[in-house]
Amino acid sequence: MQPTKPLQSTHIKEEVTLAVNDLWISYQARRGTVKAVRGVSFDLRLGETLAFIGESGCGKTTLGLGLIRLLPKTARVERGTIIYSRNNIRASVLDMDNEALRSFRWKECAMIFQGAQNAFNPVLRIRDQVFDTARAHGESNRARVRERMLDLFQLVSLESDRVMNAYPHELSGGMRQRVLLALGLLLDPQLIILDEPTTALDILTQRSVIDVLRNLRNQLDFSLILISHDLSLAAELADRVGTMYAGALVEVADVYDTYYHPYHPYTIGLIRAVPTLSGERRDLISIPGTPPDLIDPPRGCAFNPRCPYATERCRTEQPQLETVGLNHQVACWNWQAVVADHGGRLILAAQE
C-alpha cells in the first residue's frame, strides 16, 4: 500500500524567506583547505521547515553557522549569496556590516545551538537572562518583554511564573531546551535555525520538545531550518529534507519523497541503514567505505567511491542538482538507473 500523501501543508506561504545560492565555505587547516560547504543552493519559504540530514562532517553545522554569519575565524565564505527577505524587503546577509548583523541576528534569524540548554548563565535567574537578551537588542520595556515571554512560555508548555523566577539548575534539560525555544522567539524572528535540538535528551523529554516544536509551527509564522543527524527527527517535523554529503546538497525533496521515493544512492543508503520500531524487523544495509577527506574530496561526484551506481562520468564530472519531479531535486548522473532499480520506492514500516 502506498502511503497517502497529505495535502500540501497550508502553513507554507509563497513568499521566500531565505534564498541561498552557490554557497562555498572552507576552513583553513594546517594540512590544507577543508571545503566544508561546497556550492549549496536552496530556497526556504515562509512557514516551511527544511531539515538538513547527513552524517558527521558533512557540513551541515557549518552551513547553519554560515547562514547567520557566526563562523569561526578560521572559516571563510569563498563564494555565494544569501538573501533574506521579510515583507518584500530584501537583504544580503553576506554584505551586512556589524551593525546590520546585530539587528539581523535574533530579531530576524535566531539560532539555537547544539547543547545550548547547558549554556545558560548559572547564577542568573531565567527572568534576568530574558531581559538581558531583550535589552541587548534594543527592547527595554520590561513589562512588554515580560508579557511576551509569559505568552511564549505558555506556548512551549511551561509554567510561566515558576520558570521566570527559576535558576537554570532548577529546570530539567527538556525544560531548559523549551526555555531556549521561547527565548529564541522572543524578538519575533522570521527564521529559526535549530542545530541538533533533541540530541542528548532522553526519549520522553525529546518527545515533549518535538511536540512543542510542532505546536509552535502551527501557531506562529516562521521558517525553520533543522539540522540533525537523526533521520527520525526530520521524519517527524520537516516539510522538506535536504540530504548533505561531503559539503554538498545531493538531494532535496518533500519529506515523504525523501523517505519513500529517494533518488540519490546516498539518501537510499542512509534510509536503509536506520532501524525502525514499527513493523517487522527489516534487513539493514550499510554503506560501504567511509566519508571522504574534505581537504581532497574525490573528483567528480564525492560519493562515487562508495556508490554502487558509479560510472566513468561520476569519477570525472560533478553532478549538479536537477529537478526530477514536483519539489524534488537530485544531484546524480544515474538517478534514472537508480529509480529503475528499486522502482523508485522504498519499503518502510508504514507500508507493510
Partner 1 sequence: MAVMMELVNLERSFKVGRALVRAVDGVTLRINEGEVVCLVGESGCGKTTTGKMAVGLLRPTAGEVRFRGQDIWQMNAADFRQYRQAVQIIHQDPYSSLNPTQSVVDIISAPLLRHGFARSRLAARKLAAEFLQRVDMTPPEDYLDKYPHQLSGGQRQRVSVARALTVNPRFIMADEAVSMLDVSIRVGLLKMLGRFREELGMTYLFITHDLAVAKFFAWDGRIAVMYLGRVVEVGPTPRLIRFPQHPYTKALLSAIPEADPVATREKERVQLRSMDVPSLLHIPAGCSFHPRCPLFEPGVCDRQVPQLRDIGNGVEIACHVVAREAGVA
Instruction: List interacting residues with partner 1 (CB under 8 A).
Output: 3, 55-56, 172, 174, 202-208, 210, 229-233, 235-236, 255-256, 259-260, 269-271, 273-279, 281, 284-287, 290-291, 348-350
| Distance in Å, CB of 55 to partner 1, minimum | 4
Nearer to partner 1, 73 or 281 (CB): 281
Nearer to partner 1, 139 or 230 (CB): 230
Residue 100 or 349 having the CB closest to partner 1 = 349
Distance CA 180, CA 142 (A): 19
End-to-end CA distance of the chain: 7
- Using only C-alpha atoms, the chain has a radius of gyration, in whole angstroms, of 21
For cell 558533512, the residue is 58
Q: How far is the CB of 79 from partner 1 (least distance, A)?
A: 28
The number of beta carbons lying within 10 Å of the beta carbon of residue 128 is 14
Q: How far is the CB of 82 from partner 1 (least distance, A)?
A: 28
Give the Å distances, CA to CA, from 10 to 6, 46, 47, 48.
Answer: 11, 11, 9, 10
Nearer to partner 1, 85 or 114 (CB): 114
Q: Least CB distance from residue 281 to partner 1, whole Å?
A: 5
Closest separation between CB of residue 68 and partner 1, Å?
Answer: 26
Which residue, 260 or 309, has its beta carbon nearer to partner 1? 260
Give backbone dihedrals phi and psi of 34, rounded to 5 degrees, phi first. Answer: -90, 115
- Work out how close the CB of 284 gets to partner 1 at its nearest, in angstroms, rounded to a whole number: 4
Cell of 13: 506561504
Spell out where the chain has E strands.
16-29, 32-45, 49-53, 75-86, 89-92, 109-112, 191-195, 223-228, 240-245, 248-254, 322-325, 328-330
Ramachandran sector of residue 315 (left: φ over 0; alpha: ψ -120 to 50; beta: rest): alpha
Closest to partner 1 by CB, 190 or 198: 198
* 247/269 with CB nearer partner 1: 269
Smallest gap from Cβ 236 to partner 1, in A, equals 5
Bridging pattern class, strands 240-245 and 223-228: unpaired
Q: Rounded to whole angstroms, how far apart are CA atoms 126 and 349?
A: 43
Task: Give CA–CA dist 88/99, Å, rounded.
Answer: 21
* Complex with partner 1: residue 174 or 184, whichever CB lies closer: 174
Task: Give least dist CB 126 to partner 1, A.
Answer: 17
Give the whole-angstrom CA distance, residue 182 versus residue 187.
10
